[in-house]
Every structure is written in C-alpha cells, then in structure tokens.
Amino acid sequence: MRWARRLLGLSLGALLCQPAVATPPPDAVEPLVSIVIDDLGQNLARDRQVLDLSPAIALAIIPDTPHAAELAREAHRLGRTVMLHMPMDPAGGEFAWRPELSQEERARRLDAALAKVPCAQGLNNHEGSRMTADRPAMAWLAGELQRRHLFLLDSRTSAATVAAAEAQKIGLASLSRDVFLDDDPSEAAVMEQMERGLKLARRQGTVVMIGHPKPATLAVLRRVLPGLKAQGFELVQPTLLIGERANRAMQGHGQNGIYR
C-alpha cells in the first residue's frame, strides 16, 4: 500500500530535536511533488518568505551564514523539513569538503556544520561537482548519515555524482534531484522548469525539484502551489517521498532502479 511505503520516511529526524509531526496524506495515486529551497540562512527576511509557502517545502540551510541556526530552529518549530546544505568543492568556506582534505578533517567539518544547523533531518550538497564524484568520500558520508539517522538528497550538480549510488548500496534513506528550477532566474524560465517537473511527475509518479530564494522562483511558487491539488498533484515533504521511492533510482538516474 502506498501509505505504508511512505511510513519509511517518518522515522527520520534529528536526534537532538523533537521530530515534527507529519500529517498522513490520503492514500491516493496522485503524482507526488517535493520541492527543496537551497542556499538559505543569508537573509532572514527573504528566507521567511519560504516559510510562508506550503509547509511541505523543505529548507536547505548553508552552515556558514549569519542566520543559519535561527532559521533552522524557526523552521523546525513550524514543522518544516530542515536540511544541512553542506558546502562541497568547488564551494569554499570553513565547512567545505574538498578532495585533498583528510577524512578526519571532513568529519570535523561535518560535525561543525551540523552544529550550525540544529534540527537538521537530512543533508544535500551545496555545489560539489568534484566532491560528489569521490566514491570513498561519498561512501563514508552515506554511512555517517545512516549512523546519525539523517537522510541524503543528492543535488546532482554533476553527472559524475556517486552520492546517491553509495547511499543506495547501504540502504540509506535518500533521494536524487530531478529538476533545477532556476538555473535561469527569469520568471518565464522558472515557470518552464516547473512545468517540466510536473510533466515528469506524471510520467514517473514522483519528482524532486530544487530551487533558490530568488524573486522569480518565489513568485512562481506562490502562483503555482495553491493550484497543484486541483491539477491532481500532491505536494509532500521529502521524507514522505523517500518512503514512496524506496531508494529506487528514477529512469534519468539509473536503470532498473539502480543508480549508475
């Protein structure tokens, strides 16, 4: 039963915070849509506009931003999904993972980054085109997230990524991004990407879209989200989508459910 599969996602959450209570969605066959907004924590007034959107929208917060902890706690109190948006090479900064760092240093940076984003339920990579292609590092990350009861969202900033593949090998609760909403930040382009994502959801049953708190992205979401249900879609938190996908790779990411 579809809802039974979704229950896999409900046990996820940060050990240091009380998990938000998820309301069971109806046991229906609507295509499922999950949306994550990245790069948060830099501008509190702007980021609170994301909180004004649907409660299903997940917030991915960069640790080395001035409002990371405050936004994470506020989002968690409101029942939102909070994620650590982990900087990875070519991203810079004190928390960024780089291939030349020792695993001990990467572990220290992960600990420090999680401390900056309290109540995180999962992690996705901020940039990371080189780092997510590093198989030993991604294997270690998958194991560490599993130990901490956190999920992984592979942002798929590179076709060479092996992050989701390594998560799948050990059964870590994970997802892969299907559509970026705003590589082109014009409102027309964001709307086109949104429509592309919804078509993909109808075709494969689920879709994961990632955007950023850009004016055009927020405008499109405010326009589109209220009408999704009437169009036959169900907007859900990433943890529920994890349960539905059951760690299977979508067609664009692998073959027969196995990541490339």
Question: Taking Cα atoms as reference points, which of 61, 65, 85 lies closest to residue 73?
Answer: 61
What is the three-class DSSP state of 35? strand
CA pair distance 161, 146, nearest whole angstrom: 19
pLDDT at 219 over 90: yes
Instruction: State the pairing for strand pair 58-61/82-88.
Output: parallel
| Window from 19-33, 41-55, 154-168, 172-186 with minimum mean pLDDT | 19-33
Query: How confident is the model over 138-179, as pLDDT tens digits?
Result: 999 999 999 999 999 999 999 999 999 999 999 999 999 999
Kindly state the tokens that stand for 196.
């592309």
pLDDT at 260: 87
Q: Which run of H or of E encompasses 182?
A: none
Q: What is the mean pLDDT of residues 29-54?
A: 96
The answer for residues whose C-beta is within 8 angstroms of residue 25's C-beta and 6 or more apart is 3, 6, 234, 236, 240
What percentage of the chain has pLDDT greater than the value 90? 88
Q: What is the mean pLDDT of the chain?
A: 91
Domains in the chain with CATH codes: 28-249 (3.20.20.370)
Confidence of residue 10 (pLDDT cuts 50, 70, 90): very low
- Could you tell me the CA-to-CA distances from 253 to 24, 131, 162 in Å, in that order? 28, 18, 10
Confidence of residue 18 (pLDDT cuts 50, 70, 90): low
pLDDT at 22: 43
pTM: 0.90
Query: How confident is the model over 191-203, as pLDDT tens digits?
Result: 999 999 999 999 9
Q: What is the mean pLDDT of residues 220-231?
A: 98
- The alpha carbon dihedral of 245, 247, 249, 253 has a sign of positive
Alpha helices in 34-102 (DSSP H): 44-51, 68-77
Confidence of residue 24 (pLDDT cuts 50, 70, 90): very low
Question: Taking Cα atoms as reference points, which of 109, 40, 112 lies closest to residue 81?
Answer: 40
CA pair distance 77, 119, nearest whole angstrom: 10
Query: How confident is the model over 80-109, as pLDDT tens digits?
Result: 999 999 999 999 999 999 999 999 999 999
pLDDT at 20: 45
pLDDT at 23 over 70: no
